[in-house]
Amino acid sequence: MNNLVSNFRHITPFDPETLFSLAKDLRAFQRIGHPTGTDLPAAPVISNWSRTLLPHPAIIGSLNHITVLQPVFAITDDRSWALVSSGWTRLDGHVDESLSIGRQPR
């Protein structure tokens, strides 16, 4: 399995270190209005994504052809970034966009 995917999938979303990191990212996001961090250029990309609800808000999508389901803590207004347990991740192609490609107007 790709190291990026394995790191993404094995983070415990509610351990203290993750929660402290999320709080730091959320404070910066509220202050600046966009994701920050030196690791943004290497952020994973979730494609064909959608928001969903579990006992908490979550995001489901595809990361390197593997389905991922992660708690989501913030999504930028332009829907290009999401803050998940592992940090900021890029979003590419909401599932509704790919479903509408083949549709013909009636």
Determine the Cα–Cα distance for residues 18 and 34; give it in Å rounded to an integer.
20
Predicted confidence pLDDT, tens digits, the chain (106 residues): 444 454 555 556 578 888 898 999 999 999 998 998 878 989 999 999 999 988 889 999 999 999 999 899 999 999 999 999 889 999 999 888 766 655 555 4
Under DSSP, the state recorded for 101 is: T
Full 3-state SS string of 38-83:
CCHHHCCEEEEEEEEECCCEEEEEEECCEEEEEEEEEECCCCCEEE
What does pTM read for this prediction?
A: 0.76
Full 3-state SS string of 9-20:
HCCCCCCHHHHH
In this prediction, residue 99 carries a pLDDT of: 64
In this prediction, residue 102 carries a pLDDT of: 55
Q: Spell out the domain ranges in the chain.
A: 3-100
In this prediction, residue 98 carries a pLDDT of: 65
Please give the structure tokens belonging to residue 16: 């203290």
Please give the structure tokens belonging to residue 94: 């909401």
